[in-house]
Amino acid sequence: MTRGALRWPGTGTVSLLAALTTWVSLLSWTGFSERPSGFLVPLFAGCLLVAVVGMLLRTLRLHPAVVCLGQVVVLLLWMDHLWAGSLALGGWLPTSGSFGQMLATLGHSMAVSQQYAAPVPREVVGLFPALILAGAAAAVLVDLLSCGLRRVPLAGLPLLAVYTAPISIVDGGVSWVKFAASALCFLVLLAAEESRRLGHWGRQLSSSLVLDSQATAVSSQSVRASARRIGLTVTGLAVIVPLLVPTLGAGWLARTGNGPGNGNGTVSISNPMVSLRRDLVQGRDMNLVYVTTPDPDPSYLRIAVLDQFDGSAWLPGGRAIPVQQRTEGKLPPPPGLNPTVPRRTYPYQIRIASDFASKWLPAPYPVSWIKAPGDWRYDTTTMDFISAADGQTTAGMHYTLHAVDPAYNVNRMENAPPPPFGLAAKYTRLPKDLPDSVRRLAEQVTAKQTSDFARAVRLQEWFQSDGGFTYSLGRASGDSTEQLVRFLGTGPGSRTGYCQQFAAAMALMGRALGIPSRVAVGFLNPEHVSGNTWVFSSHDLHAWPEMFIDGTGWVRFEPTPSPRVTSLPPYSVAPLGKPGGVSQPIPTPTVAPHNRFNLPPGMKVAPNGGTVSAAGHGHGRLPLTLLLVLLVVVLLAGTPRLLRGWRRRRRWSTARTLPGLAEAAWAELRDVALDLRLGWDDTVSPRARARAVAARFGSADSAEAGSPGRAGHGPLVAPEAAAALDRLVELVEQARFARPRTGARPEQSMVAEVAGDVALCGQALGRGLGRGRRVAARWLPVSLLRGLVRTPTLGTAGVGVDHAT
């Protein structure tokens, strides 16, 4: 074995850097699960496996497609060992049983990914295989673009997709630290590839063991220095600039003004629930919202929904507000409200005082139609209205809407099926450090109730009457876990507070019981002005909990025992077990959706996240898996055609001399003939080869006939192609046998003309064959197989070719 065969692979450094960059980018997925190590640790091994297999196969000078296929095969063997090793021979050699188990594991994982909201609980390990598969696929793609095709800038696209995937899924987005780390790794990868590319231009002036892997490479010190300067500058700006750009705040109510008694004060809401108490007790009571409506009871006007509790406060979660969701007319139905529920609709005309500047649009809930000037948009999960333009607030606005008043049926709500799985997982999420005392207290208070609705009613009753709670604005503001635990306790200062604590505490206890819960902030009990006009003032600001009942949707409850709460929702005080409201049957699903909080008897949550019956059979949804398989099949089917096109373009772009152009043209003509399943013999002269090619030319008439005969073949039926073939033969003979012309380079127009001649010959060959052969040539080009191992210069003898026709 020669010494040169043992040196570090030429793409070794770039391969390892590509794997490292991919894995660092995958750190942005930590928010998908409460135990991210369950998939990130295997993915580190998977990325390393992709790098090692890639660099070893590339040392054999194999085609990039073959290297990619080898990586996929090795990854499949590794996954088979990972998830079905007990059924494989020796733990590694796949069998039909192990392969089926691996596919079943992936299918179940896809189903789990649709059932849980991020972050998935740590005990649900069934999500990990899907994340490992997706991460490994990203590693293969980045390796192919960076090392196989040597297009590192293009590798930034899958890396960007990896990084941005959790942004719209994980509450709070992705940490800037992870962005900075992945950006710096990508810049080092880019510098390494440029150093390797630079090494082809001359003798090395100073060696480097970090980025240079070519023994004859020139110094890449300048490349690395530039990469450091550019990378640190750009990454720093990307991290720092967003911090300086004004965005929505993270508090509750932020009020600006001159203090109590000053008539020039204003109320400003940029994010609802920071200092609700201050707006209730400080300053004079200012009229903020005027409502004109025939609705006999416009008691509640909602501003925003707080659906995320992080242990320190209730906050608005992420909002999806694309441009299609503007407040310009009809709205989608409220989430969870069955269309058969009877309802009445009331028109509302709302005018906002100039002193009230809010980023949220006050509106009743639910709303079926709205027309508001400006760029206001709604979120389909919360159905609150948010400003989508910088500097746009509600100050001085006029808008109209149609409010919906559903006729709730108590008996139907009491017998409602469990909520949808994904919704329950999102709206029952609790902080990890929540004391067990909260759950025990909630279970103790609702011990005799058997349905989510009955438990919610019981919680409201407990807060309102027999829980020993007192309404007082003298309590300090705040709704953190520690403050709510103290509020629910029995020590000094406990069970005293105002609407902020009551709403937050009831929503927290509801989640502890497995009831999807959130907090709403808005106005309560307007003052009647005259006729159909009402006015809400700054002292009418209020907070209340909303709980989800399947078939009815989000239902408002009122736990605050305040003198301002003059009446409770009728459905929450009606006797249970008896119909309330309008009795109209609502169709119940044949199979109710199950979740880990409300399972039917005999069902339990499996360790992998699925539901298991007493017989031990798992359940999962497969359409997504089938869609994924179909996508893989489509990608595999299109890969040969894409690779053939890439080879053709690369062949013409690298023809920089006249002999090179001639050999490129002859090689392309050879590949066209092979793709059409025609024979080719490199041992004969170009003229002899050309005569055999011209004999297979066909005319347009023979191609349209579908089954051309031998009489329709030859150079006479395609004179233009025959002339083009003659020009190609003359070009090849001059390149091989004439005196070489030093420094002669083909013009771009000449390259285009030669490529056109090859295309004419290829079209004539295709017309001489059936439609099936032409289709196969486009989608299954067998000429790619000739590139499995690089051969001597194209056009020389010594390469045997099958003569099959």
Residues 646 and 760 reside in one and the same domain:
yes
Indicate the pLDDT class of residue 644, thresholds 50, 70 and 90: confident
Is residue 795 a part of any domain in this protein?
no
303-307, 488-492, 591-595, 766-770, range with the lowest pLDDT: 591-595
Distance CA 376, CA 675 (A): 57
Contacts of 223 (CB under 8 A, 6+ apart): 191, 194, 195, 198, 211
What SS3 state is found at 357? strand
Assigned domain for 201 exists: no
Question: Using CA atoms, how far apart are residues 560 and 545, in angstroms rounded to an integer?
Answer: 10
Asked if residue 466 belongs to a domain, the reply is: yes
567 and 641 co-located in one domain? no
Percentage of the chain exceeding pLDDT 90: 35
Let me know if residue 660 belongs to a domain. Answer: yes
pLDDT in tens, 317-366: 878 888 889 999 999 999 999 999 999 999 999 999 998 888 999 999 99
pLDDT at 614: 37
In this predicted structure, the answer to whether residue 634 has a pLDDT above a threshold of 70 is yes
State the Cα–Cα distance between residues 624 and 621, nearest whole angstrom: 7
Least confident of 297-306, 542-551, 552-561, 593-602: 593-602
Q: What is the pLDDT of residue 280?
A: 52
Confidence tier at 585 by pLDDT (50, 70, 90) = very low
Domain membership of residue 697 (yes or no) is yes
| Number of domains making up the chain | 3
The stretch 767-774 carries a mean pLDDT of 86
CA dist 153 and 146 (Å) reads 8
Q: Residue 556 sits in which domain range?
A: 412-525+539-580
Of 40, 38, 45, the residue nearest 121 (C-alpha)? 38
What are the tens digits of pLDDT across the range 236-257?
A: 545 454 444 333 333 333 333 3
Determine the Cα angle at 583 with ends 582 and 587, to 5°.
125
For residue 804, pLDDT beyond 50 = no
pLDDT at 728: 92
- Strands 308-309 and 356-358 come out as unpaired
In the predicted structure, residue 803 carries a pLDDT above the cut 50: no
**pLDDT tens-digit profile of 98-139?**
888 888 888 888 877 766 666 777 777 788 898 999 999 999
Q: Does any domain span residue 771?
A: yes
Confidence of residue 781 (pLDDT cuts 50, 70, 90): confident
* Helix/strand/coil for 90: coil
181 domain-assigned: no
pLDDT digits (tens, 9 = 90+) for 450-463: 999 999 999 999 99
Distance CA(657)–CA(141), nearest Å, equals: 33
The pair of three-digit structure tokens given for residue 372, joined into one six-digit string: 């508001």
Other residues' Cβ atoms within 10 Å of the Cβ of residue 100: 13
My answer on whether 548 and 427 are in the same domain is yes
> Does 94 reside within a domain?
yes
Among 140, 174, 208, the domain-final residue is 174
Confidence tier at 168 by pLDDT (50, 70, 90): low
CA–CA–CA angle 790, 793, 799 (5° rounding): 70
pLDDT higher than 60, residue 96: yes
Q: Are residues 687 and 573 in the same domain?
A: no
Strand pairing report for 533-537 and 527-530: antiparallel
What per-residue confidence (pLDDT) applies to 608?
39
Radius of gyration in angstroms for the set of CA atoms belonging to the chain, rounded to a whole number: 35
Q: How many CB atoms lie within 10 A of CB 231?
A: 18
Q: How confident is the model at residue 5 (pLDDT cuts 50, 70, 90)?
A: very low
Cis peptide before 366 (omega within 30 of 0): yes
Q: Which of 145, 174, 203 is the last residue of a domain?
A: 174
3-state secondary structure of 418: coil
pLDDT in tens, 128-153: 898 999 999 999 999 998 888 888 88
SS3 content of the chain, % helix, strand, coil (to 5): 45, 15, 40
pLDDT tens digits, one per residue of 25-52: 999 888 888 888 889 999 999 999 999 9
Residue 8, pLDDT above cutoff 60: no
Co-location of 700 and 768 in the same domain: yes
pLDDT per residue as tens digits for the range 45-77: 999 999 999 988 888 888 888 899 999 999 999
Residue-level pLDDT at 20: 92
pLDDT at 369: 95
CB-based contact 528:536 (threshold 8 Å): no
pLDDT confidence of residue 476:
60
Give mean pLDDT, residues 623-641: 68
For residues 685 and 696, what is the distance between their CA atoms, to the nearest angstrom?
A: 18
- For residue 221, the model assigns a pLDDT of 53
* Residues 6+ away with beta carbon under 8 Å from 769: 676, 696, 698, 708
17 shares its domain with 111: yes
pLDDT of residue 642: 85
CA 740 to chain centroid, in Å, comes to 57
3-state secondary structure 613-646: CCCCCECCCCHHHHHHHHHHHHHHHHHHHHHHHH
**Claim to verify: residue 16 and residue 123 sit in the same structural domain:** yes
674 and 561, same structural domain?
Answer: no
What are the backbone angles phi and psi of residue 665, rounded to the nearest 5°?
A: -65, -45
Statement to judge: residues 575 and 659 lie in one domain: no
> What pLDDT score does 739 carry?
79
One domain, residues 644 and 571: no
Kindly compute the dihedral angle of the four CA atoms of residues 161, 163, 168, 169, in this order, to the nearest 10 degrees. 110
Q: Indicate whether 575 and 642 sit together in one domain.
A: no
49 in the same domain as 151: yes
DSSP letter assigned to residue 32: G
| Final residue of a structural domain among 129, 157, 174 | 174
The predicted structure's pLDDT at residue 589: 35
Kindly list the distances between the CA atom of residue 487 and the CA atoms of 463, 504, 543, in Å, as whole numbers in the listed order: 11, 10, 16
Identity of residue 162: V
> Is residue 510's pLDDT more than 60?
yes
Residue 490: which CATH number?
Answer: 3.10.620.30
Cis peptide leading into residue 119 (ω within 30°): yes
